[in-house]
Chains A and B, each alone.
Chain A
């Protein structure tokens, strides 16, 4: 088994200008009793996907706090990952026909990875369902085992959840990204919000020249208001609804709309939705539909920073971290009150919530006519993200969880 190479090393001190020295000092104080303690994080992929992205940042930061942390990756074959992909979709509510062979493959690969478990670790954090079966390798009097679930379990397929639940019930606790995503379990459940990294390419400060060059590249007029939604071309993100809201706003303000996202080229449904969006937008040169490559973080960053108002008019949403990204950039946000969005957009405090096309249009008009309120919401949104949705807060949550467990809370 291979321990993952750590990339993207960023010293904790580099976060100090953003968070303030006292916050960094506090993190060091919280980490002090955990110095030298062995922690193991296990997931199922080294690269790609949100979990690997988070661990790539989290592990070096924990090392800076002198925690003896290790990241190990479960090794699986194509058959295992086919099964776990089907499990993943089923846990999100997709249909799944119960198949004992799938369950056997899951058990077998987890069993083959038992050697991966560091029995002397004081804290073992297992990420997502794929390595959950490793709990059976836990010896008596071993350290604390926690299952970190990054997915929405609010409407899981009963066969798959029925298979996984007995594994999860053997852990000492489970972490979810929202109370809504959790399940009734016989173990304590904790809430860790998803987080963004303020120093990543998608969120770091950009100079005005670069932002201007991105606008010119996409032929967007920097002199007129820009309304932006960043999301996949997916019906659940309601891009057509966004265009309809924009058309109402356009009666009052000479504005532009940017709909930017990826996911259409390798997703048949995404291509259909993109086609629908183009038809809805046809004939309006002020609607910019940008099909970005799968990963264009600097362009997304620049578009968000250039926006007058950022929209997230989802019909359903997981946590919706694009909202946190916009708030971090001090942008006023108008978003639907679904999924994790109301946690980020506290109505009238850190943004405005809406429940319809008409409501979305009204809130955008309100912000365009009250720039001072828009500015205040953006500023407060930035502080809300700083306090709750940054990777440093995620690290702090782990520290507090470990302190709490080691003190028998």
Chain B
């Protein structure tokens, strides 16, 4: 895969698809949610945070991960839901770091409100896992114009793969697009602006629109 771009290499677009695997854990209370967060697989943390952001990419205004949504809609604990929703996956370069923060937030709340920690939610939370499959799209680009045209031809999943989940793969606070713009085309400012597009307040479509506009501005400069 040429998504960790070396200098002057073309950019190869990939797509990703996820299979959801049902885990053997479920939580009916906040205490059980905390236990699940401690014991579930990394693929499960990924599924309920990174992947859910991709599969609900059209939602804005507060929806960020499955844990927050369950705490809000089923456990009815607004404050905790807000704290969980505030965790920004862009801040994390590994699932372990994200898991630690999820645990810290939930355990802190359970300690402060022990009466709520054991209360049964309306619906259980089922821990699932993502199984990832990637495929090349057979689309390779060499310059900014081709790159912009390629962006316009991507599915949501492909855009998500390069723009959001790439952080975990790269272990860097950036994304495949910014990496390539910086390393291969030497467009550091554009790369930085692209990386600042907010995936929480944008849908994937509007994030893509912002990216295309930034590229067009750069093209006009040339």
Contact = CB atoms under 8 A, between A and B. Distances in A.
B58 interface: yes
A30 interface: yes
B66 to A, nearest CB: 10
A397 interface: yes
A180 B126 contact: yes
Considering residues A179, A384, A401, A409, which has the most beta carbons from chain B within 10 angstroms of its beta carbon?
A179
Interface in B47-68: 55-59, 61, 63
A399 interface: yes
A142 interface: no
B1 to A, nearest CB: 14
Given A179-B26, A182-B22, A353-B73, A33 B135 contact: yes
Interface stretch (B12-20, B31-39, B93-101, B183-191): B12-20
A29 B57 CA distance: 22
Contacts of A180: 124, 126
A16 to B, nearest CB: 12
Contacts of A347: 72-73
A235 to B, nearest CB: 21
Contacts, number: 101
B24 interface: yes
B157 interface: yes
B128 A191 contact: yes
Given A29-B136, A387-B55, A179 B128 contact: yes
A383 B58 contact: yes
Interface in A367-385: 380, 383-384
Interface string A149-176: 0000000000000000000000000001
A141 interface: no
B122 A337 contact: yes
A267 interface: no
Contacts of B24: 184
Q: Interface of chain A, helix or strand or loop or mixed? A: helix
Nearest to A387: B55
A288 interface: no
B135 A29 contact: yes
Interface in A16-43: 20-23, 25-26, 29-30, 32-33
A119 interface: no
Contacts of A21: 153
Contacts of B123: 337, 342
Contacts of B41: none
29 contacts: A20-B155, A21-B153, A25-B153, A26-B157, A29-B135, A29-B137, A29-B138, A32-B135, A179-B23, A182-B22, A184-B24, A190-B19, A190-B22, A191-B20, A337-B74, A342-B123, A346-B59, A347-B72, A349-B56, A353-B73, A387-B56, A387-B57, A387-B58, A397-B19, A399-B17, A400-B17, A400-B133, A403-B133, A403-B135
